[in-house]
Structure formats: structure tokens, C-alpha cells
Amino acid sequence: MPKRDNISMSVIRRLPRYHRFLSHLHEDGVTRISSTELSDKLGLTASQIRQDLNCFGGFGQQGYGYIVDQLCKEIGEILGLQNQYKAILVGAGNLGQAIASHMNFQADGFTLAGIFDSSPFKIGNRIGGIEILDVQELERFCEREKPVMAVLCVPREAVNEISERLYRLGIRSFWNFSHYDVAVQFPDVIVENVHLNDSLMTLCYQIKNKAQQAEKES
Amino acid sequence: MPKRDNISMSVIRRLPRYHRFLSHLHEDGVTRISSTELSDKLGLTASQIRQDLNCFGGFGQQGYGYIVDQLCKEIGEILGLQNQYKAILVGAGNLGQAIASHMNFQADGFTLAGIFDSSPFKIGNRIGGIEILDVQELERFCEREKPVMAVLCVPREAVNEISERLYRLGIRSFWNFSHYDVAVQFPDVIVENVHLNDSLMTLCYQIKNKAQQAEKES
């Protein structure tokens, strides 16, 4: 089955989950999985999974299931993880430091090439072997290294100026942890927002809503 | 206009964004905003915003716009931020520590009441005034303090056991940073997942896809 051209973001967003799940299975020594078992564990229907994978040409055989290792690799290739896009991180506060040290960028398709901050207390320190550079060095670094993605962990006051600078330096994709919608300012950039506060507030609403429902029913 | 009962999650997920944006306007001293201006800045249509707010009874006046402070407070109340639900955080590694120190839980509807880890190197340390307790204390603590939400920052190996323990202790809502779909195991819990790796992989796909499109067009 040929690969389709326009694949919806909701399909794309399920792929990392498949990949994560399959790589855990692989780590656990599982070599083959039936589509029913896979769907049970993922909390999706087997037909949903089949449909998703069919967007990319289809995998697995009827009645045989999926070969874990192979499917995992193929999904990784669809995601483009082999590209190892060069990335920088700006803002080495609590969150920036945690992201730099906690995340395995390589496993997710990126190489973290530089970390930047403006604080003299941070500049020169190392996180996971990478030196924190003065944000003043941004221009020189980007011209030399040509990163394509920037992780934004700067405070709200700084994000406007920083994202403009990064845009001028040719960066067109952002992993955005700052409280700011970069995409509104630059419509031609790719932005993946991680708004932790929004996520926490949404959880708050759901707790409140469940409590209200329970009250009504009692 | 009366409040509707079944409000879709996509509406709910936009509310924290409205709230965040309005509180920034309030901080910046803006007291009133027209619906056109609000929609421009949020990158949504005015009618979308009106529709969303109408789900909760409607706000603002035709031709007058919104009073920033008031709308912000009302959205906060819809989200239930005043409830200050008691929360604990389990797993004080890089990410857990960053979450505990970086996030303003109170602003998002929660009170962080306890932090737990199993490492003797971490137990007894403090993050933002809260002592890291031995995870062995979890049962005693929860029986006394009755938290309703747990932030899961534990490694994959530990999450199964920890989430089961927390479930037995009555916790029915999770802010989940671990690589594990808690909701699959316990269908009656509320889970807000933050899968940072999935987000990063999705960004990788989008970069790859944009490059492929550009190649085709050239």
C-alpha cells in the first residue's frame, strides 16, 4: 500500500506512543505481538492501529501480528528520528536544566549542540557534558553550527526578543516551554508547545468537574 | 445564558490559554480588551472565543469587549483554580525537582503538600520549602493528608507499583510525566499525560515532513 501524502496530526501524534510502547516491548525481550494484544495494551482498537499504520504503507500480516523490532524501527523512520536535527536550548533555569539533563534528545531525533543562558552564575557550567554559553554568543554559534531547532525555556519577559533573534538566525522550529505562543508571531515556524501550566489547569478542571458530576448523581 | 452540561475537552483545553493570556494582560496593566484584539493576539477568531465562553454562560458585551480582570477571574473559577486541591509529587529526579521548583502549583489550582523519593541522597533535602520524604512514608502521609492528585515523575520501572499504591490510597487523578499510560490500567482515574518524548518526536516528524514538502516543490 503506498504512503499517503496528507496525514492528519492526530495520526502523527499517536506514532510516538506506538514507538515508545514498541521500544519498551523490545527492551523487555518481546519479539512479536498480535494486533489484538498491541491494541489492548495501548487502549486503542486493533482497527485504529491498522488504519494509522496503513497511512504509511501498512505493516504486519493478517493473523501473524507485528514484529516488534521491525515495526519500531519503521515508525522511527517515519518520524525521522534518524535525522538527528541539530538543536540548541535557551534558558538554563530549573526547567531548562532538567530538560537538558533528563531528555534523551538523540532517541527523539535531535542532537543537543548548545545551551545558552544570560546569568554569569550559569555560564561556563556543564549539563551532560555540554557547556552553558553566554547568550551573547548565540549569533556566532548559530552561524557556525546552523542548528535547526531551539528549545525555549526562557522567562516570558525574554521570549519575544529571543525568538526574534533565533528566527533571524534561520531557526524555524521551536520546542516551546515558555508562556508565549510563538506561532502567532511567526506563522511560518513549526512550534511544538509544552504549556505545563495549561496542562495542570486542565487537570484541575477535570477534578472539579468529576466532583460536581458525583454530587449531582448522589 | 445558562451553563451547558457537556463541554468538549477541546473547549476546556483552550480555557487555560485564555486565562494565561488574560492574566498577562492584567499584569501589564490592561483593563479592557475588544474581542477582535483578544482573538488577534490569541490567533483564534472572535466568534470561536465567543462560542467557547458561551458554553459557560457568556461574558462581555457586544461592542464593549471584555473586562480583563473580571474575565480572567471567571475563567479561573470555571477551571476550579480556587479549589487548591492537595497534591503530592513522587520521584525527585532531575525532572521532578524542576517541576516542584519551577511550577507555581497554587496558580494552577493545587497545593503541593509532599514530595517523595526512594534515594537516601535525596530524602531530607528541601525543594521550595518542602522536605523530600521517604517513599515508604507514602501510606502514612496519604492517610493523614488525603491528597487527591499525584504528580508522577518516577522512572518506568517504578511507575506500575507506585501508581497501584497511590490508587489504593484513594488517589484518582494523576499528572503523569512517566512513560506509562496509567489510564489503561485504571479506567476510573483522571490522567493528564505530559509525554515530553512524544512531543519532541512529533516536532521531529514535522521538521522532516516540511523538508520533504520543500524538496518536492523545488
Q: What is the pLDDT of residues A30-73, one digit of tens each?
A: 999 988 888 888 888 888 888 888 888 767 666 778 899 999 99
Chain A hits for B173, CB-CB cut-off 8 Å, are 203, 206-207
**pLDDT at residue B1, as a whole number:** 43
**pLDDT at residue B218, as a whole number:** 82
Q: Alpha-carbon distance B3 to B61, whole Å?
A: 17
**Mean pLDDT across chain A:** 90
B42–A181: do the CB atoms touch at under 8 Å? yes
| ∠ Cα B82 B69 B59 (to 5°) | 90
Q: What is the pLDDT of residues B39-65, one digit of tens each?
A: 888 888 988 888 888 888 767 666 778
Strand, coil or helix: A99 = helix
**pLDDT at residue A62, as a whole number:** 66
Bridge partners of A133, per DSSP, are: A116
- For chain B, what is the HEC assignment? CCCCCCCCHHHHHHHHHHHHHHHHHHHCCCCEECHHHHHHHHCCCHHHHHHHHHCCCCCCECCCEEEHHHHHHHHHHHHCHHHCEEEEEECCCHHHHHHHHHCCCHHHCEEEEEEEECCCCCCCCEECCEEEEEHHHHHHHHHHHCCCEEEECCCHHHHHHHHHHHHHCCCCEEEECCCCCHHHHCCCCEEEECCHHHHHHHHHHHHHHHHHHHHHHC
Taking a C-beta distance cutoff of 8 angstroms, is the pair B201, A81 a contact?
yes
Q: Alpha-carbon distance B172 to A137, whole Å?
A: 47
A9-77: which CATH architecture? Orthogonal Bundle (1.10)
**pLDDT at residue A174, as a whole number:** 96
Q: Which grid coordinates belong to A74?
A: 519503521
Hey, where are the domains in chain B? 9-77, 84-198
A21: pLDDT strictly greater than 80 = yes
Give the list of residues 6+ apart from residue B102 with CB closer than 8 angstroms, or none.
A93, A94, A95, A98
Which of A183-187, B38-42, B133-137 shows the lowest mean pLDDT across its residues?
A: A183-187
**pLDDT at residue A50, as a whole number:** 86
Please tell me if the domain spanning A9-77 has the same topology as the one spanning A84-198. Answer: no
**What superfamily in CATH does domain A84-198 come from?**
NAD(P)-binding Rossmann-like Domain (3.40.50.720)
The residue among B58 and B202 whose pLDDT is bigger is B202
- Chain A residue with minimal CA distance to B95? A98
The predicted model scores a pTM of 0.89
Chain B hits for A97, CB-CB cut-off 8 Å, are 94, 98
Alpha-helix residue ranges (DSSP H) falling in A80-128: 94-102
Give the list of residues 6+ apart from residue A157 with CB closer than 8 angstroms, or none.
none
Strand, coil or helix: A87 = strand
In chain A, the N- to C-terminal Cα span, in Å, equals: 53
Give the list of residues 6+ apart from residue A163 with CB closer than 8 angstroms, or none.
A152, A174, A180, A182, A185, A186
Q: Alpha-carbon distance A140 to B205, whole Å?
A: 28
Residues in B 8-67 with any Cβ partner in A closer than 8 A: 12-13, 15-17, 19-20, 24, 41-43
Amino acid at B1: M
Residues in B 140-169 with any Cβ partner in A closer than 8 A: 148-149, 156
- Chain B residue with minimal CA distance to A23? B179
Please tell me what DSSP assigns to residue A118: S
Q: Alpha-carbon distance B201 to B102, whole Å?
A: 24
ipTM value for the complex: 0.92
Q: Alpha-carbon distance B108 to A69, whole Å?
A: 41
Q: Which residue has the cell 539533563?
A: A101
Q: Which residue has the cell 520524604?
A: B133
A207–B80: do the CB atoms touch at under 8 Å? yes
